[in-house]
């Protein structure tokens, strides 16, 4: 029971996508770049709304997988500030845990 | 039928104007007779001004009709002999035939002119549309585009209803940034469409999150109001206390 409680909460499919996109965007991870990264990952096969990205990032932050901070306002954003995101250690562990079964599955498919 | 008197047809001109906004056109048709033949030609000019971005004008001459109008056997300027002059009945018949021929010619000419005007209008409309598109095409720099165009404000208003202020600012900023990137490639209409689509698709996740967060607290508050109204204040206080403890624990 105690071991189970230490396990990070499992990630949903879209949460995996968002965490991967935040990692891929690196130090420049904010809403627009994260959305662009996800669009590249799914190769236009799925419509991604910015609202879904934001609510997922918000949920991941509540789980402690990412942290956010407010950046500088820029003219091309109509003078609005950016909200940057960074994946935390717990987020990386959760992502690894979510991807491991997929990697094994890919290995099996590769053997087949 | 022999016509011994010389018939002269004076030039006739028509002019038409069209009330279509942005177009002005003029057509003229003239008949002329020389020797034993009548010829008819029409002139056409159409001009269009398109939103101040440019003007187009088309003009040309159309060969409309050519044919015999009368026959003068003598073909000279000598005055006709009395015995060769037509009788009153013949003159009336000739006059009637002449006017019928003139009406036929006029109808043919008008029909030809209408067809030509219609074709010319289409051409002008195409050129005007091309001019209009080029005037709105994103050949200007992205900086000037950003100064001229703003995303749809009604879509932003919808987001203001559901989003917390901190998230709303970042979200709208991201949307505006992506909108500005898409604007030079897509043009204003399609970029606006993309923006509205993003807002519409984002409303449901935000609304679901909003309801999910507030449902427990809202439900507890509503229950307290109902219980107090029903005179069960003790129960209401207990539920309010439990909800408060739950909120503190969650925080």
Q: For residue B116, what are the CA distances in angstroms to B21, B44, B66, B129, B130? A: 19, 8, 18, 20, 21
Q: Which residues partner with B23 through β-bridges?
A: B48
What chain A holds in terms of domains, given with CATH numbers, is 2-111 (1.10.10.10)
**E strand spans, A1-112:** 66-74, 80-87
Q: For residue B61, what are the CA distances in angstroms to B23, B29, B30, B46, B233? A: 19, 10, 11, 12, 95
Nearest CA-CA partner of B219 in B249, B250, B240: B240
Q: What are the b/e assignments for A22-52, b being 16+ CB within 10 Å?
A: bbebeeebbbbbbbbbbeebeeeeeebbbbb
| Interchain contact, B170 vs A50, CB within 8 Å | no
The closest CB to that of A31, out of B171, B201, B203, belongs to B171
Per-residue pLDDT of chain B (251 residues; tens, 9 = 90+): 333 333 333 333 434 444 344 445 555 555 554 444 445 555 555 554 444 344 444 454 444 444 444 444 555 555 555 566 666 777 677 667 766 766 776 676 667 667 766 776 676 666 666 655 555 544 334 444 444 456 666 666 777 766 777 788 888 889 888 888 888 888 888 888 888 888 888 887 776 666 556 555 666 666 777 777 777 778 777 777 766 665 655 55
Per-residue pLDDT of chain A (112 residues; tens, 9 = 90+): 444 456 667 888 899 999 999 999 999 999 999 999 999 998 877 888 999 999 899 989 989 999 999 988 888 788 889 999 999 999 999 999 998 888 888 888 876 6
The closest CB to that of A32, out of B174, B201, B205, belongs to B174
CA–CA dist B51, B47 (Å, integer)? 13
CB B169 within 8 A of CB B177: no
Contacts of A74 in chain B (CB under 8 A): 173, 177
Q: Which residues partner with B56 through β-bridges?
A: B48
| Interchain contact, B171 vs A50, CB within 8 Å | yes
Give the tens place of pLDDT for each residue, B115-130: 766 776 676 666 666 6
Q: Per this entry, what is the length of chain A?
A: 112
| Residues of chain B in Cβ contact (below 8 Å) with chain A | 146, 150, 166-167, 169-178, 180, 198-199, 201-206, 208-209
| Burial of residue B175, with CB atoms counted within 10 A of its CB: 0-12 exposed, 13-18 middle, 19 or more buried | buried
| Interchain contact, B172 vs A75, CB within 8 Å | no
Q: Does the beta carbon of A78 lie under 8 angstroms from any beta carbon of chain B?
A: yes
DSSP for A59-81 reads HHHHTTSEEEEEEEEEGGGTTEE
Q: pTM score > 0.80 for this model?
A: no
Nearest CA-CA partner of B95 in B3, B217, B201: B3
- Asked whether this complex has an ipTM greater than 0.85, the answer is no
Cα nearest neighbour of A56 on chain B: B205
């Amino acid at each position: 029971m105690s071991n189970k409680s230490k396990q990070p909460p499992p990630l949903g499919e879209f949460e995996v996508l968002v965490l991967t996109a935040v990692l891929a965007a690196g130090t420049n991870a904010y809403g627009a770049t994260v959305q662009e990264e996800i669009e590249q990952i799914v190769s236009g096969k799925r419509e991604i709304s910015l609202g879904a990205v934001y609510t997922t990032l918000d949920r991941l932050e509540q789980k402690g997988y990412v942290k956010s901070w407010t950046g500088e306002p820029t003219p091309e954003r109509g003078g609005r500030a950016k909200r940057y995101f960074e994946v935390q250690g717990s987020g990386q562990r959760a992502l690894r845990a979510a991807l491991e079964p997929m990697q094994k599955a890919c290995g099996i498919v590769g053997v087949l | 039928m022999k016509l011994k008197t010389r018939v002269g047809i004076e030039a006739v001109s028509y002019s038409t104007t069209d009330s279509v906004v942005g177009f002005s056109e003029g057509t003229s048709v003239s008949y002329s007779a020389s020797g034993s033949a009548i010829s008819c030609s029409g002139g056409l000019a159409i001009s269009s001004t398109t939103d101040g971005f440019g003007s187009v004008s088309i003009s040309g001459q159309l060969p409309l009709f050519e044919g015999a109008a009368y026959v003068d056997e003598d073909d000279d300027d000598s005055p006709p002999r009395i015995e060769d002059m037509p009788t009153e009945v013949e003159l009336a018949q000739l006059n009637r035939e002449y006017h019928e021929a003139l009406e036929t010619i006029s109808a043919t000419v008008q029909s030809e002119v209408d067809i030509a005007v219609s074709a010319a209008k289409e051409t002008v409309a195409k050129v005007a549309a091309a001019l209009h598109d080029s005037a709105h095409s994103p050949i200007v720099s992205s900086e000037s585009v950003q100064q001229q165009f703003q995303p749809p404000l009604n879509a932003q208003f919808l987001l203001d209803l559901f989003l917390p202020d901190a998230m709303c600012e970042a979200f709208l900023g991201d949307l505006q940034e992506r909108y500005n990137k898409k604007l030079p490639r897509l043009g204003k209409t399609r970029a606006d469409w993309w923006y509205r689509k993003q807002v519409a698709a984002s409303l449901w996740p935000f609304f679901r999150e909003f309801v999910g967060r507030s449902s427990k607290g809202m439900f507890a508050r509503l229950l307290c109001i109902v219980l107090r109204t029903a005179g069960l204040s003790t129960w209401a206080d207990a539920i309010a206390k439990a909800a408060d403890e739950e909120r503190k624990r969650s925080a």
